[in-house]
Structure formats: structure tokens, C-alpha cells
Amino acid sequence: MMTKVREVLLLLLLPAFVPHTDGTRYSLPGKPTEIKCRSPEKETFTCWWKPGSDGGLPTTYALYYRKEGSNVVHECPDYHTAGKNSCFFNKNDTVIWVSYNITVVATNALGKTYSDPVDIDVVYIVKPHPPEKLEVTVMKDQGWPFLRVSWEPPRKADTRSGWITLIYELRVKLEEEESEWENHIAGQQKMFNIFSLRSGGTYLIQVRCKPDHGFWSEWSSTSYVKVPEYLHREKSVWILILVFSAFILLILIWLIHMNSHSLKHCMLPPVPGPKIKGFDKQLLKSGKSDEVFSALVVSDFPPTTSNYEDLLVEYLEVYVPEQQELMVDEGKDHDGCLKSIGSASDSDSGRGSCDSDNLLMDKSGAAKEEQQQQNQEGDQIGTETQGPKEAWEKETMLCANEDVVSPSTSSKKVKTWPSVFSPVTPYSPSPLDPHNSLEMHKQNFLSDTQFPPGSPSSDHCIKKALQSSYWEVCFNNNQPYPQTDVHQQLQAHSDRNISAINDGNAPRNLLLPTRMTEYVEVQRVNEENKVLLHPIPSGHTREEACSWVGHGDNYSKVKGVNSDNVLLLQREVVEEESMEMAGAAESCYTSSIAINTPKPTTCSHIALPVQEERVLAVSGYVDTATMFSLDT
């Protein structure tokens, strides 16, 4: 009974003996966490843990480990070398390629708490010490400084034997605010160069290392280095100025080069040459002012004639010959009739200073080339308008028929000489030199037409001679000329006419009537089988009509037809100023044309006149160039 009471009393009083602190409860120690082990050189390693709460009681920690393949539990051999809450495994206790199972136990008065076990393999947890002996020196490379950084591997890491392979990295920063680190991987080398330094700046440098399979070390201690001043302020400013000015200079040069042409025009404007219609520089030089100025007189201005059509067509001085429609007859039943259309264009504009002398020669040469070109072209029916160069070569219409056998291919060419003579052309028989006349001839334009070789023989045109007394009459049986009632039409090759015209008879040519679209009417055929032609009066006086007849070499006379069916024209030198021709128009156009046979014949190629057997250009029409050369 008494014992029972004592036990109850003891039980009741027991709590009083226990020391009582406010708010503390003793408990087991907290679990150690975050066990981290690291090996600096793959020969030793250290483990650290983070202790939990101690539960209010003094707690001790112990680390136990077990190697793989063995169940023997060992305790940490060294708790102190590595500091608090650590365990250091020295060389003897460290094996590699063997897995450690490590557990940390916290013990206090109340009990033990075990941490989670951790498996580690030493080779996977290598974290070396930072590199040592970091040295930075400023070196010069031809006056430009650079930094040479060198270091040593951490003391303990055995890189010499290849046990550890270390990779290094360094970082550089300027000693100023807001500057960032610049990292460089140095590989396995222990030295590094840094270029492009700021003059007079101070740099901070650090280096760290890492094994081939492991963790980066900590950054080494910082090294400071000051770069000397190597780039002077003044020099840099001068360099900048130089560069800028060179740049601007280049731009200026380039601009000038681009605008060189317009600049040239600005500074040295071209001198325009005089360009007056009918004005002859040569004449002026020669001093005969009267003649010069008389040339300027325009008798026909304002134009009184009603033939405005001509005006429209022929208004040229220094024109590009117009394309003039050459109407063979009103009835347009001539296929393949040659039509030359004049186009007025002033190709001589702005070239007043051009040498008129040379122009003629040039043009003649050009015309020759053109003709040859055209010869090469295919057989096409077309009307080509020769350029102005042509114009003043030809004065007569040429009707070429491909059927005409001729050594030259001129047969293919038809050159029309529309009434190009402008009405402003002075009729005064002022003796102008050949040059001037030639210039007048310039007014005439020529159009070339090529007949297709295969065109039937009936496709001939009748050309009326223009200013010259030449005309061309084509043989054409099938198409009787309604107006002229001509049974047969003769074709005259009047290539040579040009030569005659231009040959020193230039002035006369000036007097040729303006109406180049004269039609020659076959009046009748006399008993001698001569075709008498007379101009169709179309508003012009007979005198005028005849006025042009007598000028120049008159190839209007057909001497005869040779055995080859070639019409031979006779050259008649007619005096100028023979305005008063015989009233009879027949005399103007007397021509002896031998009529071969009523049957249709092809147009004959007119051979050279007998009188003056001049061999002209093979090309079939006369080049003024050759003509001059021949004449002079």
C-alpha cells in the first residue's frame, strides 16, 4: 500500500524535476542534407553536409561510408581537416572507379537521424583549385602594346603525368564602372595574349580551370595591369581629319567625273555654226557679197503657187530628203510602182560648222555603200528613203528593173527623184559653183526601191525625169499608159544622168523647175519609130517646163538600141539659159527610141551614152564622188 502511494507520488513529482525551458521541445536532430563531395585532384576528396536542426540538444554528426562490393561500413577518418561538417578522405582512403555509399548521421541525446545515402564516384566529382601564379605583363608588338597573361596549374593537380587534364579560361575587364567581363577559353595552354588595349587603361584579369570531365574551379585572385599611353590624342585627331578630307576629296572627284560633260558644256559651250538657208560660206569667203546675198533672196516668198503640195513636200534647205510619194499615174493600177515618199527632216541641223565640202564626198561614198548594202539585201519590194546623203547625189529618177541585165545590181534599185526642188530655190541663173549646186541637189532626195526579181515584167513604172531632162520610160506592154497612149514604155536607165547633171552643170540645175513630179507624155511615135515626149503641162508654163530641159547634159536622146536591147542614150550638151526653147514641146523631149518589137519586152538597161563613154560606177547609179573625180 505504501509502495503504491510512493510510486504515484514519484510519478507526479517527476515532471518537476525535469528542467523546464519555455517553448523548447527536445527532439531528434534534423536530417543532415546536401551532402556534397569534391575531389581537387582525383586523389583525395572531401564531403560536406548541411546539418539540420539540432533538436535543442547537442548533436554530433558522423559520416559512414561503404564501398561498392563490400558491406563493411567505415566511418569518416578525418572530420577536421576540411572544417566543420565535413569529412576528408585522404589518399589512402580514396579509391577511384569505385562507388562510395555515404551516409551522414546526426546524433543527439534523443536519438539519431540518418541522412539520405549518396553514391559517389571520385572521378566524377573533380573540382580543382584555381590556377596559381597569375602574371600579366605588357609587351610591345611594333609599338602596339598587348597583354601577356600566364599562370600555373593548381599545385596539387598532377598534369605532368596526364593524370589530370586541365582546361583554362580567363576573363578581362576594364577598371571602370559598367564594363563587363570578357571571357576567353585558353584550352590547355598556360599563356594567353590580349590585344586591342585601351591606351592608358587599367585591366583586371582572372583565370580558372576545369578538368576534362569535371567542374570549374573558382576564379583566381585578380591581377591588375595598367596599359601605357601609346595613342596620343592629337595624333588621333589628325588622323581623323586626314581620313575625312581624303574621303570628301574622293567624293568631289567622283562627282566632277560624273558631271564632266555638263561641266564642259558649262565652261566651254560649243560654238554653233551659221546656218542660213541658201547661205554659202565659201561664197562669203570669196568676197562676192552680192552673190551671197542674192542667194538669200527668195523670189517665191510668200509662195504664190497653188501647188502647195509641192511646198509641203519640198521644203528643204538642209533637210533630210523627204519621202515623196511618187505617183506614176493617177490610176493606181501599177503594182510595184515605185513610190518614193519624201520625208522632210533636217539632218543638217546644228552642223553648220560641218564641212560642206567634205559632206558631198562623204555622202557619195555613203550612198555607194548603201547601194551596195541594198544590193545584198533580199529582194523585197520596198521603198527606201535614202538619207540626205543620197539626196544630192541623184537628181534623176531611176527606175530599175530587175529584169534588166546589167553587170551592176543597180537594176534593182529604183531611185526616185521626186520634185524635190523647193520652190524657194532661186531661179536666177546665177552661176553658182558646183558646190552650191550640189547643195541644192541636196534638196533632192532619192528613194531607192528594189524590185523583186521575180516580178513580172509588167511591173514597170514610168518615171518622169525630174529636173533633168531625163526621163525613164519603162517598157510595159500590159499596162498601157492611159495618158500617153504608149504602147510600149521604155525604160531608161538614167544612172549616168547624174554624172552629167552634176558635172559642171550645176548652175543649170538650179533652174530646173520645181515640179519634179512632171509627167512626160508620149506624144506620138514618129515614123522613125521615135517616141516623142512632151511634158504634161500641169500649171507650169511651157517655158518653165522646157526650162529645165536644156540644162545640163541632156541624156534625153536615145541614140539607139544595141544588139542587147540596150537603149543608148545620147548625151546632149545643151547650153544654159536656153530658156527659149522651141515652142514645140517635142523638141524638148525628142528622143530616138528604137522600138524593138511590139511584144512585151523587158526594160532595157541603158548603157552608157556613146558620146561620152564613161564608165560609171558599177553600182548602177552615179556617185557624185566619182563623177567629180572623173570630171575634174
Partner 1 sequence: MAQRRTSGTNLFMTVLCVVAMCRAVPINELLERASQHSDKLHSLSTTLTQELDSHFPPIGRVIMPRPAMCHTSSLQTPIDKDQALQVSESDLMSLARSLLQAWSDPLVLLSSSASALPHPAQSTIFNKIQEMQQYSKSLKDGLDVLSSKMGSSAQAITSLPYRGGTSLGQDKITKLINFNFLLSCLRRDSHKIDSFLKVLRCRAAKMQPEMC
Residues that bind partner 1 (CB under 8 A): 42-43, 68-69, 91, 94-99, 121, 123-124, 158-163, 165, 188-190, 212-213
Q: Indicate the residue among 69 and 378 with the shorter CB distance to partner 1.
A: 69
Cα 582 to Cα 563: distance, rounded to the nearest angstrom? 33
The CB-of-75 to partner 1 minimum distance in angstroms stands at 20
The CB-of-190 to partner 1 minimum distance in angstroms stands at 7
The CB-of-147 to partner 1 minimum distance in angstroms stands at 20
Cα 327 to Cα 334: distance, rounded to the nearest angstrom? 10
Q: For residue 112, what is the enclosing H or E element?
A: strand 111-114
Q: Indicate the residue among 69 and 274 with the shorter CB distance to partner 1.
A: 69
Cα 576 to Cα 116: distance, rounded to the nearest angstrom? 140
The CB-of-128 to partner 1 minimum distance in angstroms stands at 14
The CB-of-145 to partner 1 minimum distance in angstroms stands at 25
CA angle centred on 99, ends 95 and 101, rounded to 5°? 115
Q: Indicate the residue among 160 and 285 with the shorter CB distance to partner 1.
A: 160
SS (H, E, C) 38-90: EECCCCCEEEEEECCCCCCCCCEEEEEEEECCCCCEEECCCCCCCCCCEEEEC
Q: Indicate the residue among 126 and 316 with the shorter CB distance to partner 1.
A: 126
- Are the beta carbons of 544 and 467 closer than 8 angstroms? no
Residue 469's Cα: distance from chain center in Å? 55
The CB-of-97 to partner 1 minimum distance in angstroms stands at 6
Cα 329 to Cα 333: distance, rounded to the nearest angstrom? 8
Q: Indicate the residue among 39 and 86 with the shorter CB distance to partner 1.
A: 39
Q: Indicate the residue among 129 and 524 with the shorter CB distance to partner 1.
A: 129
The CB-of-214 to partner 1 minimum distance in angstroms stands at 10
Signed CA dihedral, 517, 624, 413, 391: sign only: negative
- Are the beta carbons of 431 and 475 closer than 8 angstroms? no
Cα 50 to Cα 38: distance, rounded to the nearest angstrom? 15
Instruction: Using alpha carbons, select from 621, 284, 569, 297 the residue that is nearest to residue 444.
Output: 621
The CB-of-49 to partner 1 minimum distance in angstroms stands at 19
Q: Indicate the residue among 165 and 259 with the shorter CB distance to partner 1.
A: 165
- Are the beta carbons of 65 and 100 closer than 8 angstroms? yes
Q: Indicate the residue among 190 and 442 with the shorter CB distance to partner 1.
A: 190
The CB-of-136 to partner 1 minimum distance in angstroms stands at 19
Q: Which phi-psi region, left, alpha or beta, contains residue 356 (left: φ > 0; alpha: ψ -120 to 50)? A: alpha
The CB-of-120 to partner 1 minimum distance in angstroms stands at 12
Q: Is 460 exposed, middle or buried (0-12, 13-18, 19+ CB in 10 A)?
A: buried
Beta-strand relationship, 553-561 and 531-535: unpaired
Cα 89 to Cα 265: distance, rounded to the nearest angstrom? 97
Q: Is 322 exposed, middle or buried (0-12, 13-18, 19+ CB in 10 A)?
A: buried
Instruction: Using alpha carbons, select from 445, 447, 443, 444 the residue that is nearest to residue 338.
Output: 447
Phi, psi of 139 (to 5 degrees): -120, 160
The CB-of-165 to partner 1 minimum distance in angstroms stands at 6
- Are the beta carbons of 55 and 29 closer than 8 angstroms? yes
Q: Indicate the residue among 25 and 160 with the shorter CB distance to partner 1.
A: 160
The CB-of-119 to partner 1 minimum distance in angstroms stands at 8
